[in-house]
Structure 1
Amino acid sequence: MLAIQKDILKKRKPARAKTLQRFFKTGPGDYAEGDIFLGLTVPESRLIAKKYKDLPLKEVSVLVKSPHHEERLIGLLILVSQFSKSSEEVQEKIYKFYLKHTKYINNWDLVDSSAEYIVGAFLYNRDRKILQKLAKSKSLWERRIAMLSTFHFIKKGELKDTFKIAEILMKDRHDLIHKASGWMLREAGKRVSEKDLRQFLDRYAAQMPRTMLRYAIERLPKEDRLRYLSLKSN
């Protein structure tokens, strides 16, 4: 057992773990079926990640592949920290490692705390076609990675990829994708251009899943929200 794993186990809270397993839908047939929690708080996980921020990639791999949710989260937080301070060569190594381990990045909080900071950041000045491939993946989590990665671009004032991925995911059947897409569309309008968001909504509101639409229009005036919702045919 790694030293970091011993530190993680010292913080385990069985009662809280049970609550987390219900909250993160780990039961039979749920989106995170079989995920195991130890009960750490997010601040505790972040403190441990900070303490071990220089952990070698080989040991980070042990964490990312762990059956314990918090160990995977801490491994990803370490990767995010290392990516932000590394050379382009090391960043590419971390990016490739991340994409090779997507099957372990298998809950919404794991995606949301890492995708934009690694995948989005790496692709910012590079070809982004991989995002369209991820958006068409059979994996729920790869599809969410595609959407959340565009948050980095939004923060840089670029919306093209956010709208493109949202269009690809328009017919997705999973609520977690509807929420992620709507969230990114809302951020696009709030942070960069409400006009561009409205143009997207004018074209696609009637086709969008209701949850996606509701998230996307959350910051618009009430009369506009009602108008877009009235366009829904189902």
Structure 2
Amino acid sequence: MGALPTAGAVVDELQSLASADELAKVRRRLDPAEPAIGVRMRSVFDVAKAATAMPLDEWERLVVEPTYEARMVAFSILDFQARKDVGSRVLCSTYLGHHDRITTWDMVDRAAPRVVGAALAAGPYDVLHELAGSVEPLRRRSAMTAPLWFTRHGSPADLAAGFDVATILCTDAEPSVHKAAGIFLAHAGQRDPAALSRFLEQHSAVMPAAGRRLATRKVTG
């Protein structure tokens, strides 16, 4: 794979990797109206890694592409850039400013922890609460997925901020949101089992079953 400095080159590369079999697999997990090329996810990530140095102006051309794979590459590029520029407010602002281009939960999961969570470590956490209050489920998922960064790298205050967001979203009616809360809680509980126990004592009875199962899946004994 050669250098991929431009949005056009990325799209061309994705088109060269397309297959009817992969398109059928991708279509099963996308909205019927979501345009797709048909590229296996490992290849999508490889293309994104090769394009990590893409400048912002080209990235902005890529993120407005209609196809799922092109936009997944765009948000994966932010994730790879955030590994080199940990806590970048610019990358965080770029993600948030183009959130309307996120149409699937896996785009959120790919980028939100490193791109948003790392930038919000040590606070303030207002952005998380703004996202948590959105009418759009994928923005609420971002609010709950970004704090996964806190479960491994954050301070006790960061972790507490994540629990605060989980308090808001653990009973969310949207499965993609309450499941994200459960995932956060499971990882947070490995960091602070006592905090998870207190949380579950207060909220488990009203949590949707799927979120509760995810939250407790790492609990032993």
Distance 1:72 1:95 in 2: 16
Identity of aligned residues (%): 29
Cα gap change, 1:82/1:17 in structure 2, threshold over 3 Å: closer, same or farther?
A: same
How far did residue 82 of structure 1 move?
Answer: 1.9
Question: Number of paired residues?
Answer: 212
Aligned counterpart, 1:70:
69
Q: Rg bigger for which structure? A: 1
Distance 1:87 1:57 in 2: 17
Aligned counterpart, 1:106:
103
Distance 1:201 1:195 in 2: 10
Unpaired runs of at least 5, structure 2: 1-6
Aligned counterpart, 1:163:
163
Cα-to-partner distance string for 1:179-231 (whole Å, 9 max, x where unaligned): 111111011112x0111111110111111111111111112247xxxxxxxxx
Compute the TM-score of the two structures, normalised by the length of structure 1. Answer: 0.85
Q: Does the Cα contact within 8 Å between 2:171 and 2:178 map onto a contact in 1?
A: no
User: Are 1:10 and 2:16 matched, yes or no?
Assistant: yes
Picking from 17, 20, 25, the partner of 1:19 is: 25
Q: CA RMSD of the aligned region, Å?
A: 1.8
Cα-to-partner distance string for 1:27-55 (whole Å, 9 max, x where unaligned): 3xxxxxx2222221222112111222111
Q: Does the Cα contact within 8 Å between 2:86 and 2:118 map onto a contact in 1?
A: no
Cα gap change, 1:143/1:87 in structure 2, threshold over 3 Å: closer, same or farther?
A: closer
Cα-to-partner distance string for 1:128-173 (whole Å, 9 max, x where unaligned): 1110110110111100000000000111254212211111113311
Distance 1:147 1:213 in 2: 15
Q: Does the Cα contact within 8 Å between 2:36 and 2:68 map onto a contact in 1?
A: yes
Distance 2:148 2:53 in 1: 26
Aligned counterpart, 1:39:
38
How far did residue 15 of structure 1 move?
Answer: 2.6
Cα gap change, 1:221/1:79 in structure 2, threshold over 3 Å: closer, same or farther?
A: closer
Counterpart amino acid of 1:72? R
